[in-house]
Structure 1
């Protein structure tokens, strides 16, 4: 087993195709097929279920892929730390959907111009899933929202630095009367992301403060802020999201809003993670922070 073989296995698993993986890796398909067969022979179990259309992982292949991701990511991290030079290599960055939409485009464009040798692999997920990815070495860094008190995250599990502050607002259908407490909300469903989203958890806590969540409000899970906004504008739901996202979506349809609370977004990594690519990203995000001290603090 070597790192090249593991990289080939990962590419085929991601592409679900030998030909697409070969094109991505700059190899001929026959070479990729041979390396996969050699790896399976070495391990002693089939890693793929083969048919004419795609290469799907077997249950053993799924389990093996998790280890392969961690091994390759650690090897890349080790290379960058031992022989740092300038920022280079791959940086696997996870982020909440709202941060990608409203905060990252301009900073990442600057980062790409300044450090073209770095490839950022960007993925989105709720905070809980991002933390799992960090701890499992599937991600190098992530932009997360951690509630005050951090009761579900140990104080030493991650290194974190606050980079953005978001104002969460309650969104209501157009023409909805003013709301002072959860009981004033007329729609009977909260549009929210799947479990693991910090903003959903905070919304549920606010709604259940007077014991009004269970039996009064249902949950309608959606996959995007656009869907959340549309459901609210249509009058079937209400929702909670950052004001920075509301400003992006406001031209779509009118809604009513009420400020609820502020929540910080943190750039998080495993303790001690300090590759040049990550440190350069941390500095870039700090320059665009809306917290005190950022170059764009007034934004």
Structure 2
């Protein structure tokens, strides 16, 4: 098994097509097909399910992709170490939507200016999906709602968020979930930890929560609440950044539902130069000379 074969495997897995992967890698499709078959024969498993014109990962292929991405990360770390340990190569960090919008822009700019040799990439998703990406090797680090307890992960807390409930402006005070029983709920998809906090708030009040209408952005969530009749749980820092924030009523929640801590998480043993540089900048230190 060669790294060049794994690069081909990764490209085909991401593109779902040998033709598109060949175009991306500036190679001929027949070459990729041959190398991919050689890899499968050497491993003794099929890495793809071949259905019509599309390739999808087999169960073995999904496992292999995670290991391949870890190997590439280790390769980049080894190259950086040989260059004196300076950050370089690919660095993929995942983030919750609100964190990416409010907290990340300043450090992204500083990081890029300090370490221009790093190919920094940011992917946004709910916390649950970010953890899956981290455990699967698709992300080098992730900013998630924590604390998170996984034996395979390390992390550190970065900052706290105040969580608030918003309703239409004419709604009365909210002291418990009973005060909003039956109202439409606007939330991210099920893997969102903030949605789970809202569900926990209803459970604590022994009030059934209406099936959420899944919304993919805080802007749309706020617009739906302004339109009337629904609620949403949002970080106050995110709410304060949105046009239209004065058109809803903001309600404070009791502990433990009123606070959320954002953690930076990474796989154990994978604290390389790129991530160390990120942590230093995040904590207000710079390694640059």
**TM bracket (short chain):** 0.7 to 0.9
Residues in 1 aligned to 2:140 and 2:213: alpha-carbon distance in whole angstroms: 32
C-alpha displacement of 1:157: 4.7
Deviations 1:61-96 (A, max 9, x none): 344333333333343344445654311011121111
| Mapped pair 1:246 → 2:239 | yes
More displaced 10-residue stretch of structure 1: 86-95 or 203-212: 203-212
Q: Is structure 2 residue 212 aligned with structure 1 residue 198? A: no
- The equivalent of 1:64 in structure 2 is 64
Residue from 174, 179, 188 that aligns with 1:184: 179
Q: Which residue of 2 aligns with 1:124?
A: 124
Aligned residue for 1:293? none
What are the ranges of 5 or more consecutive residues in structure 1 without an aligned counterpart? 289-299
Q: CA, structure 1 residues 5+234, in 2 after alignment: closer, same or farther (shift >3 Å)?
A: same
Q: CA deviation at 1:179?
A: 1.5
Match of 1:283 in 2: 280
Q: Is it true that 1:209 corresponds to 2:166 in the alignment?
A: no
In the alignment, is the contact (CA less than 8 A) between 1:187 and 1:237 conserved in 2? no
TM-score (norm 1): 0.81
What is the match of residue 270 of structure 1? Answer: 267
When normalised by structure 2's length, the TM-score is: 0.83
Structure 1 residues 84, 205: CA separation in 2 closer, same or farther (over 3 Å shift)? farther
| Partners of 2:136 and 2:57 in 1: CA distance | 20
What corresponds to 2:25 in structure 1?
25
Question: Please, which of 225, 233, 252 is the counterpart of residue 226 of structure 2?
Answer: 233
Output aligned runs, 1:48-197, within 5 Å.
48-49=49-50, 51-52=52-53, 54-81=54-81, 84-146=84-146, 153=149, 157-185=152-180, 188-197=183-192
Whether contact under 8 Å (1:187, 1:235) holds in the other structure is no
Alignment of 1:24-43 (within 5 A): 24-43=24-43
Partner Cα separation in structure 1 for residue 246 and residue 11 of structure 2: 42
Deviations 1:194-238 (A, max 9, x none): 3332212222222222211x2x53333333323322322222421
CA distance in 1, matches of 2:61, 2:203: 43
Confirm or deny: 8 A CA contact 1:159 1:268 kept in the other structure. Answer: yes
Distance 2:98 2:246 in 1: 18
Which one is further off, 87-96 or 242-251? 242-251
